Structure 1
């Protein structure tokens, strides 16, 4: 493995680029609460997430994303609706989703940065499109255990 020449730009990790896009989006919406998402941020997110970006927007538009916040720890877990009525997935936007696409495309093959549910949870959170429910921390643990069974 060769070192980069002095002064050369270091390769940008896709996850860091996505984090930067979301930080820009959040800052923009805080300064302009009723504005639409700027086209350059939409284009960047689409470039980073590919086909999952459009699918995530559909999930956000469909509504039903709930963010559960632990009363003591402040931990956040999302329930994101699936394609079929009644299907929901437990999601930690940056780290995990209970769907098959996460398992196969993100973890297994490394073909995607995140599944559509992870991206939808993150988008909905930044856009203020989630229902927020404060719950005891043991409720979050119980939700996770239900999905493991």
Structure 2
């Protein structure tokens, strides 16, 4: 396999995932009290494997908070970790502060997203987050705390 072929695979999975999440958002927009369709669940599970099942557990556990910048509208999520009191700062499509993101997503390219990224994305689409509007500098401080 050439380097270009290997680089294209995660991008294609990310595009397929974006399409699934768009389908889910559209479906729930038209059917707000409906369950998630089995075909979309199956597609997401196929794309993300074990991380999808783990993400569903995180969403079911609750506690995901979406912080929205007052002026920019930027969204950053705080997603609970496995241990009580642990949490991770997440940009669903681009970043998570967890070790799995660094190791499996960035380092080895074995996954397109970690369970926290998927949980944030799912919770956002399903309306399972608490939303907090904050000054934009608060989001910057949150990021600095987790990158230091």
Does the TM-score normalized on the shorter chain lie above 0.5?
Answer: yes
Q: Which runs of 5+ in 2 are unaligned?
A: 3-8
Residue aligning to 1:13: 12
Q: Deviations over 1:84-110 (max 9, x none)?
A: 000000000000000000000000000
* 1:105 counterpart = 2:104: yes
- 1:104-143 equivalences in 2 (<5 Å): 104-143=103-142
1:93 aligns with 2:95: no
Return structure 1 stretches of 4+ with deviation > 4 angstroms.
none
Give the secondary-structure state (helix, strand or coil) at the position aligned to 1:77: strand
Partner residue in 2 for 1:48: 47
Specify which structure has the higher proportion of helix: 2
Mapped to 2, the partners of 1:16 and 1:145 lie a distance apart of 29
CA drift of 1:148 comes to: 1.6
- Give the root-mean-square deviation of aligned CA atoms: 1.2
Which residue in 2 is equivalent to 1:74? Answer: 73
Q: How far is 1:57 from its partner?
A: 0.2
